Structures are given as C-alpha cells and as structure tokens.
C-alpha cells in the first residue's frame, strides 16, 4: 500500500497574489492499493466523487498518460480534514496526492520540479501546489508551461490561526469579484509589500508582517463576499495577531501570531468567537507551519 500525506496551503499571503503560498499543519491523506476494479472511497464521511471524475484519480491518471503507461485498477481511500472551498488548498492536496501516488507506483519516474509543472498545469496556477509539494513559503512564476519556484522555511517562532467560517466561497466566485484592471499605483503597492514577505515570514523580521500582508488587488473585493470577514480582521489584530490576511480565495481568514504570545491570542479569540454575533460563523484552528511538504510512505 502507498500512503501520501499532503499539507493544507494558504495562498496569496496578502500581497503575494497568485504568486506566494505557505504550507500549514493540516493534512489530507490518500492510500493506493492494487485492485481488480477502480474503487474510490472516503474514510471520514467527506462526500467525494467516486468515479473517474475524482480529482485524485484524474491527477494520478494524468501522470500515467504523461509517461505513456496504462492506468492500473486501484483502490483509493481519501481522508479529508482540509475543508473544501475555504481557501486552504483542498484541490491542490488532491492533485499533489494523486501525482505522488502515481509517481511511486511508476518507480519515481519524475523529480519534484517535474511534478510541480504537471500539478500546475492541472490546477492552473502554482501558488497552492508548490507549498503542498515542498512545504514552507514558496514564491512561484508560471510562464510558457514552466514553473519557477523558490522555497524558504517559515520561522518556527510564528504560529497560525485559521479562522474558518461555516460557509463556502468558490474560487470562481471569488475571482469574478475582482476588477478587470488595476492602476499602476495599486500594482506598485503590492509589489513593494510582496518583497517583504520572505524576511517577514522566514528571517525573523516580524515587524514587517503586517505591512507585508497588506494588499490592494484582491482582499477588499473578496471580503465583501465573506460575512463577518472585516470584523474578523479587526478582532484578530485587537487580540494580538502580527498579520491577518484572506487565505487563498477565502473564505478562511489566516492570523499570524508570535509563538510566545499564542496562548493569550487563542484564548482572547475564543471569547470573541463565542460572544460576538458578527463572528458566529467562524471556528478557530490552531496550526503550525509545515516546512517539509507532502510525504509518501
């Protein structure tokens, strides 16, 4: 049996729209076993496609097709704690899981950078699949079918709080809310702040976290689709977060906290979640950075 574990990912990270993502300590797992027929199931009750349209299977089949090998019958069992349509990379976890499982079945025919290219071609952009594969904080460019990616380990003195609402926000809807054009001023605003993301998250420059995660390209538009989102930003900052940003396309909001202040932050946030009617849709999940990425056993 082959077992693949893939971390959740938090893309954009404020100013790094469609270019930056980081991996966190919440994991989907997929097992693959030989079988007489295709069998796909969920071990935790999550509703998933159980036919050839399943994203894990489609990704697995894509790699077999890429190398010109017949796709075997297989039993796939998924465990899916990463919530779907919440901006935490659930689809990327499926894609990476399927590709890594197929790669192991085929005798490791592709290196990670080749798998990243293939995963990006399936997903359409690399900002979730790259940290899912590599872990850490990744910066990516996708150009002419090639992916250029740099990974840095996230500073262990930082921890995260995923503030996850009960409602979904589909990526298609979140993208449709964005303007068709932006001004030079808005582009420069993000470019200058994105340059601070690596020192802020990886090199101990926590004083840069708040400015590095500010954005003029996507967050304000997506927050309009997220009831309680603007209030959550304000409350998380009030409770001591060094940075707060929309995770991926939403609807999760990610707070970044210094480890020494984490217990006080989580305690204060739980009080607000319990008592503030504007935040009743949200739950809090305490997370660490994952600097390893997906693993295969």
- Render pLDDT for 3-12 as a digit per residue (tens, 0 to 9): 999 999 999 9
Cβ contact 130:140 at 8 Å: yes
- By the 10 Å C-beta count (0-12 exposed, 13-18 middle, 19+ buried), 68 is classed as exposed
> Rounded CA gap, 161 and 244, in Å?
9
- Please name which of 211, 192, 238, 245 lies closest in space to residue 11, comparing C-alpha atoms: 245
pLDDT tens by residue, 89-125: 999 999 999 999 999 999 999 999 999 999 999 999 8
pLDDT tens by residue, 170-181: 888 989 999 999
- The proportion of the chain whose per-residue pLDDT surpasses 70, expressed as a percent, equals 100
Mean pLDDT of the chain: 96
Domains and CATH numbers, the chain: 2-153+292-296 (3.30.230.10), 158-287 (3.30.70.890)
What is the pLDDT at residue 243?
98
What is the pLDDT at residue 171?
87
> Could you give the 3-state DSSP secondary structure of residue 269?
helix
> Rounded CA gap, 171 and 162, in Å?
18
Cα dist from 93 to 54, 81, 99, 123, 149, whole Å: 13, 11, 10, 10, 18
Stated length of the chain: 297
> Rounded CA gap, 188 and 195, in Å?
11
What average pLDDT does the segment 144-161 reach? 95
Neighbours of 272 (CB within 10 A): 18
Tokens coding 208: 């840069």
Helical spans, DSSP H, in the chain: 55-67, 90-105, 112-123, 129-134, 171-176, 184-194, 197-202, 209-212, 219-223, 229-238, 262-275
What is the pLDDT at residue 145?
85
- The proportion of the chain whose per-residue pLDDT surpasses 90, expressed as a percent, equals 94
What is the pLDDT at residue 82?
97
Residue 144 has pLDDT above 90, yes or no: no
What average pLDDT does the segment 27-48 reach? 96
């Amino acid at each position: 049996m082959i077992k693949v574990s893939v971390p959740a990912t938090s893309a954009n990270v404020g100013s790094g729209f469609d270019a930056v993502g980081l991996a966190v300590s919440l994991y989907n797992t997929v097992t693959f076993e030989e079988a007489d027929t295709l069998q796909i199931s969920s071990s935790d009750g999550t509703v998933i496609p159980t036919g050839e349209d399943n994203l894990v299977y489609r990704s697995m089949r894509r790699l077999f097709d890429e190398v010109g090998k017949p796709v075997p019958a297989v039993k796939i069992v998924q465990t899916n704690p990463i919530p779907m349509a919440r901006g935490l990379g659930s689809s990327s976890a499926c894609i990476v899981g399927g590709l890594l499982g197929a790669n192991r079945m085929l005798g490791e025919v592709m290196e990670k950078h080749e798998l990243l290219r293939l995963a990006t071609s399936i997903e359409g952009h690399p900002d979730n699949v790259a940290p899912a594969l590599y872990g850490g904080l990744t910066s990516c460019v996708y150009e002419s079918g090639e992916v250029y990616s740099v990974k840095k380990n996230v500073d262990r003195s930082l921890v995260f709080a995923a503030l996850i609402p009960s409602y979904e926000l589909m990526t298609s809807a979140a993208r449709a809310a964005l303007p068709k054009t932006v001004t030079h001023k808005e582009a420069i605003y993000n470019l200058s702040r994105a340059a601070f993301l690596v020192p802020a998250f990886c090199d101990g420059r926590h004083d840069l976290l708040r400015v590095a995660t500010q954005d003029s390209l996507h967050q304000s538009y997506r927050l309009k689709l997220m009831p309680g989102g603007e209030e959550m930003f304000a409350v998380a900052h009030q409770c001591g977060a060094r940075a707060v940003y929309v995770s991926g396309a939403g609807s999760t909001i990610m707070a970044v906290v210094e480890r020494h202040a984490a217990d006080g932050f989580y305690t204060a946030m739980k009080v607000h979640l319990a008592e503030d009617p504007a935040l009743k849709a949200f739950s809090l999940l305490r997370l660490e950075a994952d600097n390893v990425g997906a693993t295969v056993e």
